[in-house]
Amino acid sequence: MKTEKARPRNKAEDPQAGLRFGAGPETPGADEPPNGEARRPGRGRPPQPAQKPDAPEADPLSAEPRGPAESGTGQQLAVPGKAGKLEKLNALQSYLMEARRYSMLTQDQEIELAKRYREQGDKKAAQRLVLANLRLVVKIALDYKRHWLDLLDLIQEGNLGLLQGVKKFDPYREIKFSTYASFWIKAYILKFLMDNYRLVKIGTTQAQRKLFFNLKKEKERLEAFGFKPTLSLLAKNLSTTEAEVEQMEIRMDTPEESLENPVTDDGKQTLGATIPVEGESLVEKLAESEFRDLIAAKLKEFRKQLVTQKSEKELFIFDRRLMAETPLTLQEAGEKFSISRERIRQLEVRLLRKLKAFLKQELPDFEDFDFLKR
């Protein structure tokens, strides 16, 4: 029986060829299939990924972000989600992802950057301080989220406070910048809430602002301990009066309504028309204005009579005593005509009687002349 000599297996026929540890082509083209045959899938040496050079280490004081987080168009569009699907990011998620790209600073780095901005006006140093504390603004804004629906509004106002903190920060006082800036961030957020919580401002004083932010928290605390949050107990714990607590509760719990809202079925009467007017009404003011004009006209006619009668003393008393904004004293008027104070008083009483009789004749329907008494 003849036996065939075993043929040496080439790499194209041996699926393990070239995959053994340390195996590889000794000459160029050794991995190519013989006779020009196409390489079959799964055979041959697997492609090796190109090795990327090490990225240079980022400068901690640089304002550049640590790594790319945006798409090629400069806008964050989507991230891998469940089951390998892409999920779109909303504005808040995009902002938080962007804020996480900037590393935090040590206290020494903060002081160095603050000195550069304060002494040299280095805007890049100020920018680095701001970018490193964006997450601090988000953390503080989350504490006030229950007072405002849109967290981005609070973050925006907090960022304005952060900018103000950079301007006012003194690096020579050995205070941590984040501690100092948090006060400015809170101040700007609180001011925004007080100005926009209602169309009508509800916290115009420091005491009202304190009550606004602590009233609901104190209620929840008392209820958690099993106490009923009465007005007296709330006023005692918040160091204020019961009237202030009651007024703030009404402001916070009562929704705003327009004075132009109709209150009748036909829509003719509005809410503003049902609110009583404090003080004089428009009709009363108009009547008073017309009465003043009428009295002024009659007083001019009476003065003309005094001029016609050529009563010098009565005309002087009328002009300098009765109608003057700063009338002369009886002594000063008496010195004018070299007569006594008592004589001037008698002339004035007689002049008032004549004026009252004149007005009664001109205004028969008017009976109240008390304004003529002195």
DSSP string, 135-187: HHHHHHHHHTGGG-S-HHHHHHHHHHHHHHHHHH--GGG---HHHHHHHHHHH
- pLDDT at res. 364: 76
For residue 181, the model assigns a pLDDT of 94
Q: What CA–CA distance (Å, rounded) separates 269 from 259?
A: 10
One-letter identity of residue 288 = E
What is the SS3 assignment for 2?
Answer: coil
Amino acid letter at 52?
K
The pLDDT value recorded for residue 290 is 83
Looking at residue 279, what is its pLDDT? 65
Angle at 38 between CA 35 and CA 42, to 5 degrees: 125
The pLDDT of residue 90: 84
**Cα–Cα distance for residue pair 24/44, rounded to 1 Å:** 10
Per-residue model confidence (pLDDT) at position 124: 93
Task: Supply 5's token pair.
Answer: 């000599």
Helices 330-337 and 341-362: crossing angle, nearest 10°?
100
Nearest to 346 by CA among 371, 317, 373, 310: 317
- Provide the pLDDT for residue 160: 95
pLDDT given at position 12: 45
To 5 degrees, how large is the angle CA 364–CA 370–CA 374?
130
What tokens appear for 248 in the block?
A: 């703030």
CB 141 within 8 A of CB 189: yes
* Average pLDDT of adjacent 10-residue blocks, the chain of 374 residues: 48 44 43 49 53 55 59 47 64 89 90 92 92 94 84 93 94 89 92 76 70 82 89 88 84 72 78 70 76 85 85 86 86 88 89 86 72 58
| Tokens found for residue 316 | 């002087």
Q: What is the rounded distance in angstroms from the CA atom of residue 7 to the CA atom of residue 17?
A: 15
The helix/strand/coil state of 323 is coil
Asked if 180 and 169 touch (Cβ cutoff 8 Å), the reply is yes
At residue 40, what are phi and psi to the nearest 5 degrees?
A: -80, 150
Q: How far is CA 242 from CA 25, 165, 232, 245, in A?
A: 93, 37, 6, 5
pTM above 0.95, yes or no: no
